[in-house]
Structure 1
Amino acid sequence: MNLFAVFEVKRDAYREWNRRTSLRKTKLYSIIVAVTLMSVVMASYILTGGKKGILLNPSSFQYGTLTENADTVASHEEESSYVSNLSAVQNYANIKLVIKTIASKIEFATRRLPDFKELVKSEPHMFSVIPREFLENIKNPCWFEEYKANSTADPYGTNLYALYSKRFRTLFDYLRNAFRDHLYQKENKLCRFRCLPYFYIIGQPKCGTTDLYDRLRLHPEVRFATSKEPHWWTRKRFGIIRLSEGFHDRYPVEDYLDLFDLAAFQIQDQAHGNATTQYKHNIAIGEASASTMWDNNAWIYFYDNSTNGEPPFLIQDFIHAVQPDAKFIVMLRDPVERLYSDYLYFGIANKSADDFHEKVTESLQLFESCLLEFSMRSCVYNTTLNNAMPVRLQVGLYIVYILDWLSVFNRNQILVLRLEDHATNRKYTMHKVFNFLSLGSLTEQKEAEITKSPASNTRRPADKNLGPMLPVTREILQDFYKPFNVKLADVLQNDSFLWEKRGPEEGLCLLQTARGRPPWLCWEPRVKGLEAQPSRDPWPPSGGAPVPEYPGNPALPPHQEVLGGRRQGDTRMRSRHFRHTGAWLRRNAGKQLEPIRVPI
């Protein structure tokens, strides 16, 4: 017998024995670990006295005092489902100090206004194209411009808007066919008719400007630019399409004016008596770039930095220089909600409430760092800071922009609205806009078409599924924006811009209970403690809001965007039944109807 064969057999038997022993030890250790974990869980359950967590889970934090008592344990347990980020606890004290530092640095200093000659020197071509005086008896700022090109040349062949958009190319094809018929012989010169907008919707983004634009363009006297948002004043005239892509060719002012040619043709036909029936109106041209109010990020690349970090020129300086009588509409919303909506809309991937919280805290720290060295206005308009902040915190500092616009334009040239009021009573807000723009009256059918159409640009279903922001994030942002909102409410003489209370002053509809079919009572926002009185006229007078007839409030039409989806318990469907029938459901009698809010 081979000795090596015996050794091999014995070694194989030894290996088999070791394998079985190791397996038994592994099972034993697993049982011990399982028993230990079960003991910890049971001990945690007994010590906490609840079923919502164990001692191994980190406790959530609130933006408030760090100490807890028995009265706050329940609220902390409720927030534990929202806050799971350990770094948030560690950063809490720092964020509180950051906001305190920011509040101590807030100042609203008067800006230096540039001289007209300085503006002309910085943009000589624009001022050579746009005249100082416009044609009389025309609502819009219009004029005749000498057409020096060959009569057979393509007037829109070099337009950069058409170069980057197929939609523009289609429209310019139509304008080419109508262009020759609208050339005008004046003083032995061939001229074309040019116009600038009569009014601008200037901001803010994610505050309902798209919805306002869609409703306003249904008015028969309103004409908008070819594009809703040309962004010429803020970006295109500097050659910016997207700042991350660098600079392209600068869009000349002629390309911008081309966008209003369709409306200019109609005004020209009206002025010369050639208008068809549908164009016999006092046309008002509008432009709705939501960046006009706040976006001055290009200044640092083109203007001399000679004002201690503050831009020497702002967008409104140039608009005022070329058309000092222009009108502006501003739509605002709670800046806290605006920032979260902005994050959801422009965010690309990995969006969540936790991610939003981290981006907010990082942005606050960056903003504080800037304020330690520069003024408030310098930081708000600081291009480097604005590009570095993960969320656009500065866009919600409404008062900084409002004050700068009021430094060159009169208060009666700027209409400031709130999205909250518009969402609850569109008829009232649209009436304010029509009065502000001096537009003509409407038929009942056209009025219903404008006020009852579904809301535009509402929150996407995927973003709705992410849920609201964390409660702690909301409190952080409320503390940050509060001093700015206080100043805004003081300047506008309207406490509803504090965004603090819910009730009649925020345009909510209150139910006046009565037998049978109780009416809806809708109030105008409270101004300086005075509530506007209701009116039953088709269009309410200034200072009053309409009380619609049965069966319900026309500001809340029965479409899915306003009513939202069904909820557990079917309470929303019961509320809808009441709103559109005017009757109580027996099983729902005596309950308060919840207000409907549209996320935009």
Structure 2
Amino acid sequence: MLFAPTDLCVALWSLFVQSFQVWPMNLPSFLVIGAAKSGTTSVWSYLKQHPQVFMSKPKEPNFFIFEGVKLPYYSGPDDEEALIRKLYQGTITDFETYQKLFQDVGEVKAIGEASVRYLYFPQAAERIKKYIPDAKMIIMLRNPVNRLYSQYVMNVRDLLEPLPLSEAITAEDERISKNWDCAWHYTKLSSYYNQVKLYLDLFSPEQIKVIIYDDFCRDTIGIMQELYRFIDVDDSFIPNCSKRKLSGYWPKSLVLHRLLKEPNVIKLTLEKALPKKTYNKALKFFQKSNKGVIPPIPTTVKDDLKQLFRKDILNLQELLGRDIPWLTDEV
């Protein structure tokens, strides 16, 4: 049987398309978009436990921020290699690689990823609208003072913050002018009103779910089942929430902490001299022994921050149409 010219063209075009389509066209149906240091790793873990949900690995591909750029796109107090290792590990900058994260999702009802920087960057919202306009988005918001301090503690722990807290906050605007990464945008990241408003303006209200961290801590199972309903999976599933993820700590000795965390001659010598198992065991022992209790926020800094965030919290309450306990909470 002979092909008509139009049939032949259609058949050839079909073969051409199939030759490039090496994986299914899967993309997220929902995203956890922030805020950083607001329980998102725990939420990612509990979503991942659900048999009808696929969550990407890495947890934070950051694609909708960094599409098409060369990393590290922003600067900081460390060299480029260290910044990539500490801040951009797992970050994906091209659509083809991003799409491959979801090629083996299996038989699930919801596909997601959790990049907590998305809430802060306007270009992320615009690209989400471009690539997955019908996706649902989960926003986790924590008391802005606590969120800021948790980020500061993490930066100290990761050897990314050399300044005391008050000086780091004072240096924020200067650092931003020098194109430092948002990891040092302490007060800006904690100012939620404009960040949330952008997403509510760009997407329909049914696509956005805002969770207050206080509610999540008070009723973790209930909030997770609320999120399961939101992403259209079985809400009767109960995740194992017995262990929270990424509990913070403060190094007892910053000098020892740096020796244990960073490459150096002492570690290299011991690694060569000791059996691998012995070396790793010793390293873990000293790391655990050096973990201390996080000190409280200095009172004057705490009071200044509470006053700084007051107007933003009031605006956020009006935007969300609900009371938020942060104005009276002790932090």
Q: Report the TM-score when normalising by structure 2.
A: 0.71
1:197 to 28, 40, 49: 28
The structural deviation recorded for 1:291 is 1.1
Question: Unaligned stretches of 5+ in structure 1?
Answer: 1-144, 150-189, 268-281, 297-313, 368-381, 504-596
The residue aligned with 2:9 is none
For the pair 1:460 / 2:255, whether they are aligned, the reply is no
The structural deviation recorded for 1:453 is 2.2
Is the 8 Å Cα contact of residues 210 and 457 (structure 1) preserved in structure 2? Answer: yes
Q: 1:502 to 1:415 in 2, by over 3 A?
A: same
The structural deviation recorded for 1:490 is 0.5
Q: 1:344 to 1:250 in 2, by over 3 A?
A: closer
Residues 507-536 of structure 1: CA deviation (Å, up to 9, x unaligned): xxxxxxxxxxxxxxxxxxxxxxxxxxxxxx
Which amino acid is 1:260 matched to?
F
The residue aligned with 2:260 is none
Distance in 1, matches of 2:155 and 2:320, equals: 30
The residue aligned with 1:58 is none
Q: 1:315 to 1:495 in 2, by over 3 A?
A: same
The residue aligned with 1:209 is 40
Is the 8 Å Cα contact of residues 53 and 109 (structure 2) preserved in structure 1? Answer: yes
The structural deviation recorded for 1:294 is 0.9
For the pair 1:146 / 2:14, whether they are aligned, the reply is no
Distance in 2, matches of 1:255 and 1:331, equals: 27
| Count of matched residue pairs | 265
The structural deviation recorded for 1:493 is 0.7
RMSD: 3.2
The residue aligned with 1:404 is 198
Query: Secondary structure of the residue that 2:245 maps to in structure 1?
Result: coil
Is the 8 Å Cα contact of residues 386 and 394 (structure 1) preserved in structure 2? Answer: no
Residues 423-454 of structure 1: CA deviation (Å, up to 9, x unaligned): 12101211210111121143xxx51xx15321
The residue aligned with 1:333 is 142
Distance in 1, matches of 2:148 and 2:46, equals: 24
Which amino acid is 1:491 matched to?
L
The residue aligned with 1:284 is 110
Query: Secondary structure of the residue that 1:474 maps to in structure 2?
Result: helix
The structural deviation recorded for 1:208 is 0.6
The structural deviation recorded for 1:226 is 2.7
Residues 15-70 of structure 1: CA deviation (Å, up to 9, x unaligned): xxxxxxxxxxxxxxxxxxxxxxxxxxxxxxxxxxxxxxxxxxxxxxxxxxxxxxxx
Is the 8 Å Cα contact of residues 200 and 286 (structure 1) preserved in structure 2? Answer: yes
Q: 1:387 to 1:461 in 2, by over 3 A?
A: closer
Distance in 2, matches of 1:396 and 1:502, equals: 16
Q: 1:467 to 1:486 in 2, by over 3 A?
A: same
The residue aligned with 1:227 is 58
Distance in 1, matches of 2:160 and 2:229, equals: 44
Distance in 2, matches of 1:482 and 1:425, equals: 26
Distance in 1, matches of 2:74 and 2:171, equals: 21
Hey, which bits of structure 1, 4+ residues long, moved more than 6 A? Answer: 246-250
Q: 1:396 to 1:502 in 2, by over 3 A?
A: closer
Query: Secondary structure of the residue that 1:287 maps to in structure 2?
Result: strand
Q: 1:386 to 1:488 in 2, by over 3 A?
A: farther
Distance in 1, matches of 2:144 and 2:207, equals: 23
Distance in 1, matches of 2:66 and 2:164, equals: 29
Residues 56-86 of structure 1: CA deviation (Å, up to 9, x unaligned): xxxxxxxxxxxxxxxxxxxxxxxxxxxxxxx
Distance in 2, matches of 1:350 and 1:286, equals: 29
The residue aligned with 1:355 is 164
1:439 to 225, 233, 243: 233
Which amino acid is 2:218 matched to?
T
2:326 to 470, 492, 499: 499
Is the 8 Å Cα contact of residues 33 and 138 (structure 2) preserved in structure 1? Answer: yes
1:15-414 to structure 2, matched below 5 A, reads 146-148=17-19, 192-241=23-72, 243-244=74-75, 245=80, 251-263=93-105, 266-267=106-107, 282-295=108-121, 314-347=123-156, 348-349=158-159, 355-363=164-172, 366=174, 384=178, 387=181, 391-414=185-208
Q: 1:383 to 1:295 in 2, by over 3 A?
A: farther
Distance in 2, matches of 1:419 and 1:331, equals: 6
Question: Unaligned stretches of 5+ in structure 2?
Answer: 1-15, 85-90, 252-290
Q: 1:358 to 1:389 in 2, by over 3 A?
A: farther
1:477 to 301, 305, 312: 305
Identity of aligned residues (%): 23
The structural deviation recorded for 1:349 is 4.7
Q: Report the TM-score when normalising by structure 1.
A: 0.41
Is the 8 Å Cα contact of residues 146 and 191 (structure 1) preserved in structure 2? Answer: no
Is the 8 Å Cα contact of residues 240 and 250 (structure 1) preserved in structure 2? Answer: no
Q: 1:359 to 1:410 in 2, by over 3 A?
A: same
The residue aligned with 1:487 is 315
Distance in 1, matches of 2:182 and 2:204, equals: 34
The structural deviation recorded for 1:386 is 5.2
The structural deviation recorded for 1:385 is 6.0
Which amino acid is 1:460 matched to?
Y
Distance in 2, matches of 1:232 and 1:343, equals: 24
Query: Secondary structure of the residue that 2:248 maps to in structure 1?
Result: coil
